[in-house]
Structure 1
């Protein structure tokens, strides 16, 4: 019996099929919860680099939107 070294789709993250899982932050079930610690930390870095201030009580969805905007402004993050 031969086994393949090729991973199944269940073993992979990303790729062309991964794009279907991307949701608009406004559609997130947990989007109205408080932003995560990781979001807050990254936003602090991005905002400082952009010379901006942001409210400390952002939701997950709002934080995600600010992260995308500030990544574009600062040149951080993955290119589109």
Structure 2
């Protein structure tokens, strides 16, 4: 297959009604990788505000779930 034949090729079409921003963290392809530095930083901020200690060895998916939970507890929810 030549490079020019990929011009019209697509991968992972979005289904109608799906919002990729709302994908369940447990379904993430990279969800089992270590959390990112920005996640760790934000989680640290939220945990301090909530007066909680959170493990520093979370996966991306686990960190996202903790961030969402702590946003609700601290009133910093994005919704």
Cα displacement (A) at 1:77: 2.9
Shift of 1:78: 1.2
Does the C-alpha gap of structure 1 residues 78 and 32 become closer, same or farther in structure 2, counting only changes over 3 Å? same
TM-score (norm 1): 0.73
- 1:6-32 superposed Cα distances (whole Å, 9 cap, x missing partner): xxxxxxxxxxx8952121000000000
Give ranges in structure 1 of 5+ residues lacking alignment.
1-16
Q: Give the TM-score taking structure 2 as reference length.
A: 0.74
The residue that corresponds to 2:19 in the other structure is 20
Q: CA RMSD in A?
A: 1.6
Deviations 1:14-71 (A, max 9, x none): xxx8952121000000000000000000000000000000111000000000000000
Greater than 6 Å deviation, 4+ residue runs: none
Unmatched runs of 5 consecutive residues or more in structure 2: 1-15
Determine the structure 2 residue equivalent to 1:62. Answer: 62
Query: How many residues are matched?
Result: 63
